[in-house]
Chains A and B, each alone.
Chain A
């Protein structure tokens, strides 16, 4: 009888795909939270985020995914930090 692959291993395989594929993404937190998978962090663009979440839906099919992935800002800062 085949048993389902443990979710922990599926998450690691997803992380391998993130790092080793076209995205080369190592900076996102991906972890099991209860019965769901949390994906959290910052990415360079909205299109890049879509690709991350598309991959997640494929690799983690059947699991609930909670995504909190923000797009990094590219504007110049409006303040400086003074270091006396």
Chain B
């Protein structure tokens, strides 16, 4: 069994130091990995990223993250990635990481993702440059996620998780105003997951949404935005597939293997 802790939208500001650390310090008892589903900061500043880094540095489990739209707000996303990386956090964007867990290989593929909407009501890559750029960005994120998930299959991961900030399905947006669904997610993410395969999808972004959903292809989706789960993190127990036995590999010194695509 693989125990996955996950939370998104923690929105830490410079006045948030220590808010989540007491709960995170218990992770060694309940989880094998902590996933952070974006919007880790409030304004996307490096100072706020340092607060996030202090909350998760030195935890007893590996920490894997994607950034969210708030983390891009100050145009400091690269510096934020570096600050978190220095604290031992694997920040994914169109990339993946493999974490050995109890003799199996857990693969996590991640992207921020973007909006655009859902089947029958989605934006198209047409018209003004800014509209085409909007849809193209969403498509690029989804394609990066699909590549990363396929690589995890090639690397014989017994369990694969797709980690995003934006939602792949409308199910987990239930509770949000219908009119803003196109700004909360894109079906392109779900299509990528269904095409490449995943055992679980984890996202945030939709504070008023619902926790549970599923893609058209049957991948279970969980919205772990902190306002939704109402806790410091949620925990999911996954059971590695018997059809994809783990191969013996030598873990890297950090306990994980990273691939950027």
Contacts and interface: CB of A to CB of B under 8 A. Distances in A.
A81 B23 contact: no
Interface string B230-260: 1111111111000000000000000000000
Chain A binding surface SS class? loop
B122 interface: no
A74 B19 contact: yes
Nearest to B183: A26
Contacts of B235: 77, 79-81
Contacts of B222: 81
A82 B237 contact: yes
Nearest to B41: A24
A74 B232 contact: yes
Contacts of B11: 24, 44
A83 B230 contact: no
Contacts of B232: 73-77
B220 A72 contact: no
A29 interface: yes
A36 interface: no
Contacts of B203: none
Contacts of A74: 19-20, 22-23, 231-232
A80 B236 contact: yes
Contacts of A45: 19
A81 B237 contact: yes
Interface in B181-211: 199-200, 207-208
B3 interface: yes
Given A24-B73, A72-B227, A77-B233, A83 B207 contact: no
Contacts of B238: 83
Interface of A: 23-24, 27-29, 31, 40-45, 72-77, 79-84
19 contacts: A24-B11, A27-B227, A28-B207, A41-B227, A42-B226, A42-B227, A42-B230, A44-B10, A73-B230, A75-B232, A76-B232, A77-B30, A77-B232, A80-B3, A81-B236, A82-B236, A83-B199, A83-B236, A83-B239
Given A27-B227, A83-B238, 10 more contacts: A27-B225, A42-B226, A42-B230, A44-B10, A75-B232, A77-B233, A79-B235, A80-B30, A80-B237, A81-B222
